[in-house]
Structure 1
Amino acid sequence: MSGEGRKSPDWARIERALSVEREYGYKNLKGNQYRFHEFLCLSFGGIPPVLNLMIAFKWQKVAKDFAEYPRLTLQEKKDLIDYVENFIDEVKEKQKEEAQRKETIKEDNIIPFPSKVETVTVTPKVKETVEKITLNSPVINLKCVNNRQNKLLEKLGIYRVRDVLFYYPREHIDYGNKIAIKDLEVGETVTVIGKVKKCSCFSSPKNKKLTILSLVIRDKTGDLKISRFFAGNYFSSRGWQEKMKRSYPMGALIAASGLVKGNKYGITLDNPEFEVLDSAGDNINSLKIGRLLPVYSLTEGVAADLIRKAVVECLPTLSEIDDPLPVNLKRQYSLVELQRAIAHIHYPDNQKQLTDARRRLIFDEFFYLQLGFLERKKQDKQNRQASPFIPQGKLIEEFNKLLPFQLTDAQQRVINEIEADLESSSPMNRLVQGDVGSGKTIVAVFAILAALQSGYQAALMAPTEVLAEQHYRKIVQWFNLLHLPVELLTGSTKTAKRREIHSQLQSGELPLLIGTHALIQDPVKFRNLGLVVIDEQHRFGVQQRARLLAKGKAPHVLTMTATPIPRTLALTLHGDLDVSQIDELPPGRQPIQTTVLAGKQRTQAYELIKREVAQGRQAYVIFPMIEESEKLDVKAAVVEHQKFSEKIFPDFNVGLLHGRMSSDEKEAALTAFRDNQTQIIVSTTVIEVGVDVPNATVMLIENAERFGLSQLHQLRGRVGRGSHKSFCLLISGSKSPDGVQRLKVLEQSQDGFFISEMDLRLRGPGEVLGSRQSGLPDFALASLVEDQEVLVLARDAAEKILLQDKYLQDGSSLKNELARRYKKLIGAEMLT
């Protein structure tokens, strides 16, 4: 396309209008024919005077913004006029650059830069009709997409033009670093410009279906040989190869981009991209070369260039996208416009544009998630009306008198938060986080007693029988002193006992039931369930928790976890919960001496265990597996137990505990260890939580590199519970310095919150939480490791928006976008 239809505007007249409007206080003055905003709309309503995609996008946006000018605030009017004046300077500069270009650019076999806005409306030969591309157009309407490619794009979730625009690159390769040949360094991604000294295109002698295009280019500083490889019969034809030679003749100026690599012949670019230039100062006019190149996640059969070309064709429809975020919110949090962010996430001109675009789009992902959480929390409080707890007795007062120790300030603070919740008609939904040994159980008991003295029943559910039994043993001691009945219900409970429990629950004789998922079975019916306590709640599925809650009428819910979660994870997983932290350990807890050992130092660990056991103490030895695996070189508990019993510790009783044992076998093994009948227990992570043996002073963990830091910290918490000095020995089978360094975090800190934060940074949220029940939203760009600051800002913004009902009224653009985004992130509809 020539310059036809691209008449340059009367810049002097436009700039004079902007100046006069500013001088007279942004009154939207009326001229001879038009008001100020009408004149600007007309001026920017046609085809932009330069062939540049970003200019075209901004051009359309300016026209659209001035249509809204009469409704803008004074500050918004000032900002718009400042923006347009800068934009005019940008367009003028592009006009100068375009005027310097020659009429034709040699572009054989080169993908054109997405600046040619006219390509959007050119009808491809394979399409019989011209359809205007809109946001809702099917991708098959794009000129670059055929039927086969359309089916493949559907695998990526791309059905319409909107999906293309919101299919963000996973990264960018920076080809904008232009460098002289002599300065090339291996590992850098660069663009070099030089003249063709030699060009050859031929079939590989070893593989006739492989064609090699080889160029030697030269700049003032040296020569560089670069090659590209093409597989297939089409490229092996003599005609195609001769065409390539003609495309890159001797003396032609070439821009080439790629990763610098070294080989036995010297330095080269790995599978580079080429473009022929007209002159040394010429613009590099390509989707790939000399710029930040978007890299997309692909599926088999979908080429990277297909996505890039589809994005180019779809970008002009950005003018149809409304930005739902209020203007004042965008200003407060320094966010660029949504349309600009989407354009720049795909094709930024520089790193700043990319950074600003990523920040806006990441903010949106976090913002709509947090707003969805807060809206759900608000609706839950409106829909579920709980009965406030009104004390009818003095159980809490009596319990306080019985306690042989003083509560920590952190425990008392959390208890106060819980009591305030229980006195409200809105049902409590609170998560209590606490480090190993911080005293979460005692906090839960205060909540349970508040329910009981108000005439309600309570249930405490734990994920394993070991943990449920541990809670039962501890609580039954206290409840006996208060003359309160309490029962334990697990999969191992005998039928007769089970029927007795069911009967007492229904009659109201049994105020507290502790158990595993057996609590959610149909025969379990409470007379008046007012409080549900769920320990290690992340180990239960959503449906399991819901079934327990359904056994009462809007019961209050208290969930607990002994795995401290960094704030960013807590916001992302539990944004609809109130979160309390017990961030203080009871006095008297001794620090545990933690040491990372190599496999060859295992004998030292065994000697320490022998010394401790000889003094009457006990030890845990933990393995990551139950039985040996041919695929994994890790020690197995069953095999090692036999070795420990017969060869390493023949003078001591060595017990065995793992998840495949029956409930009776587990209980027998734990009872023997608690009673010091076995001095050493070989186990898997089944003892990670809930086992309390104050006499145990050594925790030896084999193949420690196979565990997460938070899990290792949990295991370490099984010792250090008595008055004797305790030890945690981490034996690593890893030869990786990074793996050993990761374990040394445990040598440096006993703070579970710090350790979980380090675990998050080192392994990522999926590994920290476990992939099966992580519940992580499906973010396109956001990282809980790298974008924590933006998440906190987004939560703050969501809280402010929730206080302003006008933004979330039915039919509002923000309400509609929230519903769409929440479903995409969570995989579920917004509650209504």
Structure 2
Amino acid sequence: MDIYSDIKYIKGVGPKMAENLNMCGIFNVLDILLYFPRDYENVSVHKSILECVESENVIIECNVLNILKDVRLKNNKTLSTIVFSQGENKFKGKWFNQKYAKNSFKVSNNYIITGKVNKFKEEITIMNPKIVKNTSMDSNKIIAKYPLKNNITNNFFNKIISGVLSDINITESLPLWIVDKYGFCSLEDAVRNIHSPKSSELLDESRRRLKFQELFTYSLKILMLKEFIKFHNDGIQFKIAPELTLLKDQLPFELTRAQSRVVREILIDQKRDKGMNRLLQGDVGSGKTIVAIITMFNVVKNGYQTSMMAPTEILAKQHYAEIQNVLKDFPLNIKLLSGSTSAKNKQLIKDELKNGTIDIIIGTHALIEDNVEFKNLGMVVTDEQHRFGVSQRNRFSNKGKNIDILVMTATPIPRTLSLYLYGDLDVSIIDELPPGRQKIDTSYENMSSSDHVYDFALNEINKGRQVYIVCPLVEENEDMKLSSVEMLYEKLKKEQFKDTNIAMIYGKMPSKLKNEVMDKFKDGEIKVLVSTTVIEVGVNVPNATVMIIENSERFGLAQLHQLRGRVGRGKYKSYCILLAKITNNIVRKRLEVLIKSNDGFYIAEEDLKTRGAGELFGIRQSGESGLILADVICDIDILKLANNEAKNLIQSNNSEDVVVKNDIIEKIKKSSNYICFN
């Protein structure tokens, strides 16, 4: 069987089911093999129903004794019941609101079924039983659960996977010296065991092997891209505009040493005849935007257009206002393009961009629409780059030819980690805050002390200041019992802040309403803003002096540091109070890192040590990188090994390595997947 064969030709699929699989992103045999389970269920195999334990997931062989009539319950639910037998022993299968489920069963027929056991007094029930096919009754099972839709059942998918695996041979694609060095199982065993694991040990072994495979190929791709850029990266050779001196003299502040160093690094890139690909990292409030403005100004003075893309309309408006203010003494045409720009103005802006009369355009995702064209784009800047997918950034940079690319982030990424994440980019770091930035007094309190924390916040409001209150979730989670925005907002509105103008904001709010709330907060009309982490990035309200973070033990340190950076942006003394459930010393030690330090890079390093890499960004990055199983943050230890071996392979002249390297390169060209098959 060819791994690129269309799935509609696989036995048991057919044209209709092929369409449903296409909706899951499955088009060929390779896609099926790489469609990994989202979860697994441990199921015990029992010969007798009497052996089963309460709440246990079981597989059991039985006979249908009777199919009862559906019963309508008082709560409007429909109960469907089948009586099963096992010799002299009887038990029931029950479904709520699934009348169709019993249609799969016939009286007197034997079945192997799976479900959860429920025991009440003398009656044994299996809830929501499903028929299991192609299984033996000789040992306990680990059943793969897939993220499916369009009426594709887990049973059907398992059947298709079993059929594919029985008809295909998967040959090794890593150099054998790497397989031996790390004691990996074969690629064939890894793929078979991830879909149908024989034990939890074999499943762990398979996941480790496949994660390495992905990250090895990921690293190869980045390293080869850097080599390609080095030799095939024609760029625009910009001159250093004499007006830069005038701009620098007109700034109402002096650049820090770090800002001046980074400006020089970017200007040197601009002078070269190679395209710039640079990542600008700077802690919250370090002054990345002014660096971007200076370097964009140089491009404009060379006769080219520049563009900056931000992830939210709030941040785009903020950049627009700052760029207009800094460059107000220069005759430049600066425009803002976002989702809320009227249709008439959008068309005018697009016409001006195309004919070259706009010098600088700031915007959101609206900038990457197909009908947005530039006359002579010279440089693009992406702010908070991790908020954009890879394809979005590529579409933005493809708006011009041989353009310079600057990506900025305030997310503090440890220096060692950035080498693996951004191996194709040159990295500049602003590691110094401008003078005058207020030191933020940071403290932590137990959740039980929240009343006096809110009294303190009210006292600051009475002085004329404003307050942020951040929650980790939008809706109440019964398992975790975490505060939600709505519940906390209603509580505070009725109690502590009943005579204060209070509002809430969260990610899924309509953009128009979100922008209205944010504008009123920035204008000082709203005094207390209850929010999710939507306010984490870029919002600048100098009058806000208090940041209260509920359930702060649930956040990564790096994310808490970013949230803290929303205050201390004006002339007033500022405070960050971390409300947490301090249940042990680990929580206390983590929070103390924030009290001791204001260095985002140090905090990020500590986050890696104390919590692990998974919370570095506060969100999982899968989907952004194109990885299926691995995560460049969570699996940093595997990434380091894989990156090192990828470097060794690229430098190797061994004939076996050259064959493997060339084969992987061909597979990368043919597919966007990082798990490559020979």
Which residue of structure 2 aligns with residue 203 of structure 1? 66
Please report the RMSD computed on the Cα atoms of aligned residues, expressed in angstroms: 6.4
Tell me whether 1:345 sits opposite 2:215 in the alignment: no
Say if 1:294 and 1:456 are closer, same or farther in 2 by CA, change over 3 A: same
* Offset, 1:720: 1.8
What is the CA–CA distance in structure 2 between the aligned matches of 1:134 and 1:472, rounded to whole Å? 53
Letter in 2 for 1:815: I
Cα distance per residue 1:113-155 (max 9 Å; x no partner):
xxxxxxxxxxxxxxxxxxxx67677778877778987777666
Tell me whether 1:620 sits opposite 2:492 in the alignment: no
Query: Structure 1 length as normaliser, TM-score?
Result: 0.56
Pairing of 1:461-610 with structure 2 (within 5 A): 461-462=309-310, 466-468=314-316, 470-471=318-319, 474=322, 488-490=334-336, 513=360, 515-516=362-363, 530-537=378-385, 549=397, 553-564=401-412, 576-582=424-430, 585=433, 589-593=438-442, 604-605=452-453, 607-610=455-458
* Offset, 1:821: 3.6
Which residue of structure 1 aligns with residue 512 of structure 2? 660
Which residue of structure 2 aligns with residue 327 of structure 1? 176
Cα distance per residue 1:64-117 (max 9 Å; x no partner):
xxxxxxxxxxxxxxxxxxxxxxxxxxxxxxxxxxxxxxxxxxxxxxxxxxxxxx
Tell me whether 1:429 sits opposite 2:280 in the alignment: no
Say if 1:644 and 1:584 are closer, same or farther in 2 by CA, change over 3 A: farther
Say if 1:526 and 1:381 are closer, same or farther in 2 by CA, change over 3 A: farther
Which residue of structure 1 aligns with residue 564 of structure 2? 716
* Offset, 1:363: 2.2
Which residue of structure 2 aligns with residue 438 of structure 1? 286
Which residue of structure 2 aligns with residue 54 of structure 1? none
1:813 to 652, 663, 672: 663
* Offset, 1:184: 9.5
Tell me whether 1:237 sits opposite 2:107 in the alignment: yes
Say if 1:418 and 1:337 are closer, same or farther in 2 by CA, change over 3 A: farther
* Offset, 1:611: 2.5
Say if 1:461 and 1:149 are closer, same or farther in 2 by CA, change over 3 A: closer
Which residue of structure 2 aligns with residue 822 of structure 1? 672
1:385 to 231, 234, 242: 234
* Offset, 1:386: 1.0
Cα distance per residue 1:688-724 (max 9 Å; x no partner):
5445444431245799999998776545322123464
Other structure's SS at 2:567 match: coil
Cα distance per residue 1:378-414 (max 9 Å; x no partner):
55565541134454648469949978567365x5665
1:212 to 84, 91, 95: 84
Report which stretch shifted further, 579-588 or 654-663: 654-663
Say if 1:226 and 1:373 are closer, same or farther in 2 by CA, change over 3 A: farther
What is the CA–CA distance in structure 2 between the aligned matches of 1:516 and 1:610, rounded to whole Å? 36
Pairing of 1:137-176 with structure 2 (within 5 A): 165-173=33-41
Which residue of structure 2 aligns with residue 418 of structure 1? 266
Letter in 1 for 2:212: F
What is the CA–CA distance in structure 1 between the aligned matches of 2:26 and 2:137, rounded to whole Å? 22
Say if 1:682 and 1:343 are closer, same or farther in 2 by CA, change over 3 A: closer
What is the CA–CA distance in structure 1 between the aligned matches of 2:651 and 2:257, rounded to whole Å? 35
Which residue of structure 1 aligns with residue 480 of structure 2? none
Contact 2:559-2:618 within 8 A present in 1 as well = no
* Offset, 1:558: 1.0
Cα distance per residue 1:167-223 (max 9 Å; x no partner):
54445555699999999987788999xxx9xx987336777961313479xxxxxxx
Cα distance per residue 1:565-615 (max 9 Å; x no partner):
6899979986654444445545764234355686x9776455324422444
Cα distance per residue 1:522-551 (max 9 Å; x no partner):
898666x54333323456677876676567
2:573 to 704, 710, 725: 725
Say if 1:155 and 1:395 are closer, same or farther in 2 by CA, change over 3 A: closer
Letter in 1 for 2:379: L
Say if 1:546 and 1:290 are closer, same or farther in 2 by CA, change over 3 A: closer
* Offset, 1:619: 0.7
Other structure's SS at 1:432 match: strand
Cα distance per residue 1:299-340 (max 9 Å; x no partner):
576565555555555445444x34333334444554433223
* Offset, 1:444: 2.6
Contact 1:323-1:337 within 8 A present in 2 as well = yes
Query: Structure 2 length as normaliser, TM-score?
Result: 0.66
What is the CA–CA distance in structure 1 between the aligned matches of 2:613 and 2:137, rounded to whole Å? 32
2:499 to 648, 669, 679: 648
Contact 1:296-1:307 within 8 A present in 2 as well = no
* Offset, 1:295: 1.3
Aligned residue pairs total 624
Letter in 1 for 2:287: G
Contact 1:392-1:454 within 8 A present in 2 as well = yes
What is the CA–CA distance in structure 1 between the aligned matches of 2:130 and 2:220, rounded to whole Å? 44
Letter in 2 for 1:660: K
Contact 2:536-2:566 within 8 A present in 1 as well = yes
Which residue of structure 2 aligns with residue 787 of structure 1? 635
Cα distance per residue 1:336-359 (max 9 Å; x no partner):
332232333345555444333222
Letter in 2 for 1:354: L
1:407 to 251, 256, 260: 256
Percent of pairs with identical residues: 33
Contact 2:65-2:84 within 8 A present in 1 as well = yes
Other structure's SS at 1:490 match: strand
What is the CA–CA distance in structure 2 between the aligned matches of 1:794 and 1:703, rounded to whole Å? 36
What is the CA–CA distance in structure 2 between the aligned matches of 1:336 and 1:538, rounded to whole Å? 34
What is the CA–CA distance in structure 2 between the aligned matches of 1:293 and 1:628, rounded to whole Å? 32
Other structure's SS at 1:290 match: coil
Contact 2:504-2:530 within 8 A present in 1 as well = yes
Other structure's SS at 1:791 match: helix
Tell me whether 1:680 sits opposite 2:527 in the alignment: yes
Gaps in structure 1 of 5+ consecutive residues: 1-132, 217-224, 248-255, 276-284, 827-832
* Offset, 1:560: 1.4
Which residue of structure 1 aligns with residue 546 of structure 2? 698
Gaps in structure 2 of 5+ consecutive residues: 71-79, 95-100, 477-482
* Offset, 1:430: 1.9
2:213 to 357, 364, 379: 364
Say if 1:695 and 1:671 are closer, same or farther in 2 by CA, change over 3 A: closer
Cα distance per residue 1:455-477 (max 9 Å; x no partner):
76654454556545544665666
Contact 2:275-2:402 within 8 A present in 1 as well = yes
What is the CA–CA distance in structure 2 between the aligned matches of 1:715 and 1:576, rounded to whole Å? 29
